[in-house]
Amino acid sequence: MSDLQSHNPSWQLHCPISIPDNGEVITLSHGEGGRLMRRLIHEHIISAFGTMPSDSQAVHQNDPLLLMDDAARLPAIDGEIALSTDSFVVSPLFFPGGDIGSLAVYGTVNDLAVSGARPLYLTLSLIIEEGFPIALLDHVLKSVSTAARHTAVQIVAGDTKVVPRHAVDGLFINTAGVGQLVDPIAPGANALCEGDELIVTGPIGQHGIAVLCAREELALEPPPQSDCAPLTRAISVLRERMGMRIRAMRDATRGGVAAVLHEWAGASKQTLTINQCDIPVSPEVRGACELLGLDPLHVANEGTMVVAVEPGHADCAVEILRSLPEFVHATHIGSVTKKGISPVTIARTLGPEQPLDDPLGAPLPRIC
Amino acid sequence: MSDLQSHNPSWQLHCPISIPDNGEVITLSHGEGGRLMRRLIHEHIISAFGTMPSDSQAVHQNDPLLLMDDAARLPAIDGEIALSTDSFVVSPLFFPGGDIGSLAVYGTVNDLAVSGARPLYLTLSLIIEEGFPIALLDHVLKSVSTAARHTAVQIVAGDTKVVPRHAVDGLFINTAGVGQLVDPIAPGANALCEGDELIVTGPIGQHGIAVLCAREELALEPPPQSDCAPLTRAISVLRERMGMRIRAMRDATRGGVAAVLHEWAGASKQTLTINQCDIPVSPEVRGACELLGLDPLHVANEGTMVVAVEPGHADCAVEILRSLPEFVHATHIGSVTKKGISPVTIARTLGPEQPLDDPLGAPLPRIC
């Protein structure tokens, strides 16, 4: 399973750029607080985020990252705050539809957004293996920068650690995010009531299957694409148009849609029921899942969420979502029903309604 | 260098508890978003932080961690905010004077405190190697909890990733911290002026030497102890008594006191001069440094800072610090002088004043 058991470092898998044999690599000294580290931070990390160290003093004073203090100083935030963190250990680092850089931004931004917050600031912490090509680090940092600009969040503080060969597999990234809670905040899963309707915002299982196929070099045609993308726009449009008729939102990451439904069933003490034939699954994900014996409901997504709305409002929510080009496959998949024996049930295409499994743990390590 | 090149996992080094051969270990399924992960979080992580899942609903509602949402919802913070992040990859995980758990809390808390903030909240992100003993994880989490209580910060959000054997060496921890900026905020290194006086708050190089001796199993007697500890109390007393007469504060972590002095010299465009005979160094750190050919000024600290104060106020600052039992070795070590050729100079015990080296990178990986 581990990429280190092969002779080639894992970052070579699906590496998007050609790296010359004599290209500069990260050394232990890059992580040790001296001149080399300051140079790495200035020439590669800070410069990736748009403001060059050579810019005017005024820019320096306004950019917490450039000040390179121990902590970023940020203006006051009006009202309540949301705080989130996620570490990203995905293997391979690059996959169809994204890479560890875009994932590290969208993952934390989405966690803030589904919690009812407007994402404002991110911290970025890199753990890099000695020998990692600097050109590849630049490529990842560019993805981070593009994703941050795309979601209007600012990278304000960071940390860089370098560890000896074999102490980490290539590159791990942690992001922590701060957001401003905005009204109206969805009441959350506790508030789910009988009759509430359930929606998914797009085809499920795309991210997990895309990463798995890339890692195992399964040459499916077309290759499954990750859904790695921000949910901020969809959430802001839904909130604007539907307000408090939204009961709960959750991005269906590790554990997939099934994990969200089980968490919501547990929190609300209701039974959640979905219809198999309504669940959007792309042909390539369906094919890969059949091949690998996986249920797409258990596979991770990185830009797809489950939304619960008040009774009778699923069609409205689906219509709003489908007006956005990224969410044309949004679908009403089920509803909250009277508490039964099983917390989550699924009406299969053939046969009777069945309990939906809450797996002990999904079979896919290093998906995010 | 890498512990993985030996046959034993690195966590066995200085493991503080006896772990039965058949003890429960972390599996990949613990990181996959299913039932096993929820159980790990509830029974080991949340319970380590004092509030048990079985507590009353009122407690649930007040504890952002227990809600297990994607992001913690926190009350409004009055005024400006400080934000900081650090990843901890120390090897070995346990060393005289601390462990990765206490380090992960104090490291981020100190970064906030020296930036003029009152630390309020931490996020905690764990990256765990498959096969890591759960009993040892509990031990680390207890350290995290004790350190958080000791510094009055609340752990409000977290993340747990499990990676296959050899994809990470044992356990890495990231913490990100949010603090409230409090008045008066020290003007910072930019504001250093000729005549300003420089202080260190305790014996230098303790942390780096303690970790190095533990890792390389150098049996020094007595074993060097890490200074891993919070700086919050010292900073709050200094601020209270000295207000704006404090120019700058910085904890001397990676790169040691030398790195702080070089950063300050660069930021202020002044020359900083210190006297070797004034610098507090314990006999065991001095001995280990001589043995290993290291300069204690380049070795990392984790609870020791450099403070710059207005001319004539070093004695007052030293007296205030020495009134606290942890800082009885605080010493006035030098001053800011007219800009010379070298950014930092040191008056050696024997011989003339010399430039103090700004190393490319310290020779000690995985110290924090």
Q: What is the structure's pLDDT at B56?
A: 38
- Tell me what the pLDDT averaged over chain A comes to: 91
- The per-residue DSSP string of A333-363 comes to EEEEES--SSSEEEE-SSSSEEEPP--SS-S
Shared domain check, B237 and B332: yes
Q: Does residue B113 belong to any structural domain of this protein?
A: yes
Given a cut of 60, whether residue A51 has pLDDT beyond it is no
A195 and A176 together in one domain: no
Q: Does the distance separating the beta carbons of B361 and A71 come in below 8 Å?
A: no
Question: Are residues B17 and B165 located together in one domain of the fold?
Answer: yes
Per-residue pLDDT tens digits for B288-338: 999 999 999 999 999 999 999 999 999 999 999 999 999 999 999 999 999
Cβ(A337)–Cβ(A272) below 8 Å: yes
Indicate yes or no: CB of A71 within 8 angstroms of CB of B177: yes
Residues B114 and B168 in one domain: yes
Asked if A184 is an interface residue toward chain B (Cβ–Cβ < 8 A), one would say: no
DSSP letter string, A144-190:
HHHHHHHTT-EEEEEEEEEE-TTSBSSEEEEEEEEEEE-SSPP--GG
pLDDT computed for residue B199 by the predictor: 98
Residue A362 binned pLDDT confidence (cut-offs 50, 70, 90): low
Judge: B72–A83 Cβ closer than 8 Å, yes or no.
yes
Determine the structural domain holding residue A230 and report its residue range. Answer: 189-355
What ipTM, to 2 d.p.? 0.94
Tell me what pLDDT residue B363 has: 66
The pLDDT value recorded for residue B6 is 44
Amino acid, single-letter form, for residue B227: D
Q: Looking at the partner chain, which of B29, B70, B179 has a beta carbon nearest the beta carbon of A111?
A: B70
Domain end point (choices B134, B163, B181)? B181
H/E stretch holding A240: helix A232-242
Res. A52: pLDDT tops 70: no
Q: Which of A:190-229 have CB within 8 Å of B?
A: none
State the Cα–Cα distance between residues A245 and A250, nearest whole angstrom.
15
**Amino acid A360: pLDDT:** 77
Candidates A90, A307, A93; CA nearest to B31 is A90
Q: What is the residue type of B350? A: L
Instruction: Tell me, yes or no, whether A115 and A218 share the same domain.
Output: no
The DSSP code sequence of B219-261 is: --SSPPPP-----HHHHHHHHHHHGGGEEEEEE--TTHHHHHH
Same domain, B312 and B220: yes
Q: Which residues of A touch B250 (CB under 8 A)?
A: 70
Same domain, yes or no, for A225 and A281? yes
When pLDDT is averaged across residues A340-367 and rounded to a whole number, the result is 87
CATH classification at residue A43: 3.30.1330.10
A130 and A278 in a common domain: no
Is B316 part of any domain?
yes
Taking every pair of Cα atoms in chain A, the longest distance, rounded to a whole number of angstroms, is 69
- B73 and B193 together in one domain: no
* Predicted confidence (pLDDT) at residue A53 exceeds the cutoff of 50: no
Kindly state whether B45 is in contact with chain A, defined as any CB-CB distance less than 8 angstroms: no
Mark the ranges of chain B whose per-residue pLDDT is less than 50: 1-6, 52-62
Q: Are strands A117-129 and A171-181 parallel, antiparallel or unpaired?
A: antiparallel
Does residue A260 carry a pLDDT above 50? yes
**Mean pLDDT score of chain B:** 91
Phi, psi values for residue B192, rounded to 5°: -60, 135
Q: Is the pLDDT of residue A361 over 80?
A: no
Between B134-150 and B100-114, two packed helices, what is the crossing angle to 10 degrees? 30
B364 lies in a domain?
no
Chain A touched by B28 (CB under 8 Å): yes
Q: Are residues A240 and A102 in the same domain?
A: no
pLDDT of B9 = 84
The tens digit of pLDDT for each residue in A114-173 reads 999 999 999 999 999 999 999 999 999 999 999 999 999 999 999 999 999 999 999 999
Tally of domains within chain B: 2
Q: Testing the interface with A: which of B161, B190, B297 to mutate, by most A Cβ within 10 A?
A: B161
Q: Using the 3D structure, point to which of A145, A165, A181 is the last residue of a domain.
A: A181
Query: What percentage of chain B reaches a pLDDT higher than 70?
Result: 93
Cα distance between the two ends of chain B: 16
* Nearest residue of B to residue A190, measured between CA atoms: B67
Residue of B nearest to A167 (CA): B169
For chain B, the C-alpha Rg in angstroms (whole number) is 22
Q: Does the structure show a pLDDT above 60 at A195?
A: yes
Residues B222 and B289 in one domain: yes
Torsion angle (degrees, nearest 10) of CA B354, B357, B363, B368: 110
Beta strands in chain A, from DSSP E residues, in sequence order: 72-74, 81-88, 94-95, 98-99, 117-129, 154-163, 171-181, 197-200, 246-251, 271-275, 305-309, 331-337, 344-347, 353-355
Q: Which of B85, B163, B179 has its CB closest to that of A125? A: B85
Task: Say what the pTM is.
Answer: 0.94
Asked whether B368 and B302 are in contact (CB, 8 A), the reply is yes
CA dihedral angle for residue B275, residue B279, residue B284, residue B290, rounded to 10 degrees:
-20
Interface of B with A in 337-356 (CB under 8 A): none
> A361 in a domain, yes or no?
no
Residue B69 — φ and ψ, nearest 5°? -75, 175
Q: From residue A149, give the alpha-carbon distance in Å to each of A181, A241, A325.
A: 20, 25, 19
Q: Is residue A364 part of a domain?
A: no
Please answer yes or no on whether A359 and B34 come within 8 Å at the CB atom: yes
Rg (CA), chain A: 22
Kindly determine whether residue B74 and residue A82, on different chains, have CB atoms separated by under 8 Å: yes
Query: Of B181, B213, B239, which marks where a domain is finished?
Result: B181
Q: Are residues B304 and B194 in the same domain?
A: yes
The answer to whether the beta carbons of residues A91 and A213 sit under 8 Å apart is: no
Decide if pLDDT at A55 tops 60.
no
Tell whether B360 is covered by a domain: no
Tell me which DSSP letter residue A193 carries. -
Classify residue A318: in a domain, yes or no.
yes
Task: Please report whether residue A126 resides in a domain.
Answer: yes
CATH number at residue B291: 3.90.650.10
* DSSP state letter for B361: S
